[in-house]
Amino acid sequence: MEHTLISRDLEEALPPDAEEILHAGHVTPGWSGAMWLDRALEWIVGAAILAELAVILLNITVRVATGDSVLWTQEVSEIALLTIAFMGGAIAYPKGAHMSVQALVMRLPAAWKPYLAALVDWLVFVMSAGAFTLFVPTLVQQTGEKTPILQLPVFWVSMPFSLGMVLIAWFALVKLWRQQKRAVLVAAGIAAVLAVVILLAPPLFYYASPNILLGTVLAVLFFLLFLGLPIAFVLALASGTYLYLGGISEVSAIPIGMASGAKGFVLLAIPFFILAGTVMNSAGLTLPLAKLVDALIGHLRGGLLHVVVVTMYIFSGISGSKVADVAAVGTTMRGMLEERKYPRAEVVAVLSASAIMGETIPPSIVLLVLGSITTISTTTLFLAGFVPAAFLALVVMALVFLRARKHGGVASPKASWRVRGSATFFALPTLLLPVGMVAGILSGFATPTEVSSVAVAYAFVLAAAYRRGSKRLLGDTLRETTTTAGMVLFIIAAASPLAQTLALAGVSQQIHDLMSSLGDSPILFMLFTVILLVIMGQLLEGLPAVLIFAPLLLPIATDFGVNPVQYAMVLIISMGIGSFAPPAGVGFYVACATARETVENSLKHFWPYLLALFVGILVLAAVPWFSTFLPALAGLIPF
């Protein structure tokens, strides 16, 4: 998912197809048109992250010392979050860091690609310039309003969205200027024709049925998706198309919805968790964990492949990003795996399967987002995620054990208790990070945002104590975080109006009626949605798919008698399977890069693991206990 989390040595190892997919749209340094502007924009967003980090840590200190909270932190947090979302999201665009479906685009003839790239940039320009224009009246209206506590002009609170849209439009023009002039002119003509068709189309839908309108908009959505347009822009354009063609509401509701969709105190945990994970990756703090797990279970049949699974389970609770997990664990253990002659294709398969398994391990970004858009608490989701992930980890490890005679390498010698104790001593400080984060949240002592801010501070202290990472660790990790966090938050913002639009279109009711016509069977409903979500996870990646479908499908699940907590786990893992499965799953290509293996060879080894995980998700869908046991034990939901 997060392309910017791929290190330079991984980029060099990418198979040809994967390299094109991961770096489609990537531009050379000076992506804003000037190097000084590049650095200025990155430091503005980085400063917003650091300022918010300082504010949250101050609030924690004051609350622990006095029992009271600092009231103005909410307003500062809102400004910082919008800055990260829209200015960081703008920075992610010219860097090629926004998620998009490139697997199909890259199969087109080479002669088509310059025209397609130019068309995508023109569409981005139209969307961003249009969003800014539509938002101007809102800015004007807010000139006389002030925030309740700090009395700041509300105008300045909304400014990051406006600046973000202006920056994206500028970046699109810079990218177009650098492309083939013929391709740019032809693409401009195609974009103009598309715009005219949309502008003249509303009369055709005035008397059409809602289903025809919805079908047309979904066709537009998938058309834009297959063009390779970044998913965030696809979501925004699809929402605007529905409102405009149906005459249901003012199109200005889209930029307003995007601006409000990026708000929410819990969303601040996302950039902090990403920053903590990036620091851990950059400082090489995964290695002590891998050595500890190797000392404990490396002697089993399958050896280091079991270590990969368990290390991924632990590290998933640190980074919050599954692609970051693959990159960090894969590069850390690559030397050990190659030394003991494990087949690279089998390593790719186990890495990918382990990343899917880790989708529900807190503090997963998807869990945080799901808790912010549904009525299920984040604490409940965090507790619910442990057992399903452990079950799938055992499924993967069982398959590793069965395949080890043919595809396993040399198992590690059984470690002595002295070696295990030494490994525990060196890994314990790193282990305290995920354990402390989860304990802090589940105990109710701190919110996810507060825990994530402490995690960042602890990660930097740990990196300094281990003396790992360069002197530029802060700057490098901040730059990486601004891009990744901006991209994630921008997608959340863009998905918000689309989710509202689909609810307005009655999609939830239509799905309910369809399933009712097939019989009121919870099992049939679960099977239908697992297949649907695996497909949508392929097309939309994990996070956008969760943002769109979770609010639509969770109420239906409840109507069919499915426990909402169980359904949330099934939903997340199903989309995780889709987002890591070929041909469009970016995570699979990252795994290929870490093991320095071709996609073709890796696929042959991955299919058995993918099938095993699919069977595993069907078991989780049929047995609620896996998802509900821990939340019920904690008294968060009834037994």
DSSP conformational letter for 565: H
Contact criterion met (CB below 8 Å) for 283 and 466: yes
The angle, 0 to 180 degrees and rounded to 10, between the axes of the packed helices 417-442 and 378-407 is: 150
Q: What are the distances in angstroms from CA 493 to CA 173, 193, 320? A: 23, 28, 19
Q: Biggest alpha carbon distance in the chain? A: 78
Q: What is the DSSP letter of 412?
A: P
Residue 294 in tokens = 């190797």
Ranked by mean pLDDT, which of 86-95, 284-293, 367-376, 600-609 comes out on top? 86-95
Report phi then psi at 64, rounded to 5.
-65, -40
Q: What's the burial of 166, exposed, middle or buried (CB within 10 Å: 0-12/13-18/19+)?
A: middle
Closest CA to 620 of 497, 533, 504, 517: 533
CA-based nearest residue to 46, from 91, 76, 11, 13:
91
Which range is most confident: 116-130, 268-282, 295-309?
Answer: 116-130
Residues 569-575: what's their mean pLDDT? 92
∠ CA(311), CA(537), CA(584), 5° rounding?
Answer: 85
Closest CA to 304 of 286, 287, 291: 291
Query: How does pLDDT run across 451-479, given as a tens digit for each residue?
Result: 888 888 988 888 887 766 666 788 888 88
Instruction: Give the mean pLDDT of 9-34.
Output: 49
User: Minimum mean pLDDT among 140-149, 341-350, 418-427: which range?
Assistant: 140-149
Q: Write the secondary structure of 142-193 as one string of H (helix), E (strand) and C (coil).
A: HHHCECCCCCCEHHHHHHHHHHHHHHHHHHHHHHHHCCCHHHHHHHHHHHHH
Residue 17: predicted pLDDT: 44
Q: Collect all residues with Cβ–Cβ distance below 8 Å to 606 and sequence separation of at least 6.
A: 345, 348, 349, 352, 353, 582, 588
- The tokens of 222 are what? 């998938």
- Predicted local confidence at residue 285, as pLDDT: 76
Q: How far is CA 487 from CA 235, 451, 482, 509, 516, in A?
A: 14, 22, 8, 31, 38
According to DSSP, the residues that pair with 153 across neighbouring strands are: 146
Give the residue from 400, 391, 392 showing the smallest Cα distance to 347.
400
Phi and psi at residue 153, to the nearest 5°? -60, 130
Each residue's pLDDT tens digit, 347-367: 889 988 988 887 888 878 888
Count of C-beta atoms within a 10 Å radius of residue 227: 17
Confidence band of 599 (pLDDT split at 50, 70, 90):
confident
Q: Is the pTM of this model over 0.85?
A: yes
What pLDDT does residue 317 have?
Answer: 61
145-170 residue pLDDT tens? 888 888 888 888 889 999 999 999 99
Give the single-character DSSP code of 446: S
How many other CB atoms sit within 10 Å of the CB of residue 441?
23
Spatial contact of 216 and 245, defined as CB atoms under 8 Å apart: yes
85/483 Cα distance (integer angstroms): 10
Using CA atoms in the order 346, 351, 354, 360, what is the torsion angle rounded to 10 degrees? -160
Q: List helix spans (H) across 67-153.
A: 73-82, 88-92, 113-141
Task: Give residue 11's pLDDT.
Answer: 43
Percentage of residues of the chain with pLDDT beyond 90: 25
DSSP symbols for 298-340: TTSTTTHHHHHHHHHHHHHHHH--HHHHHHHHHHHHHHHHHHT
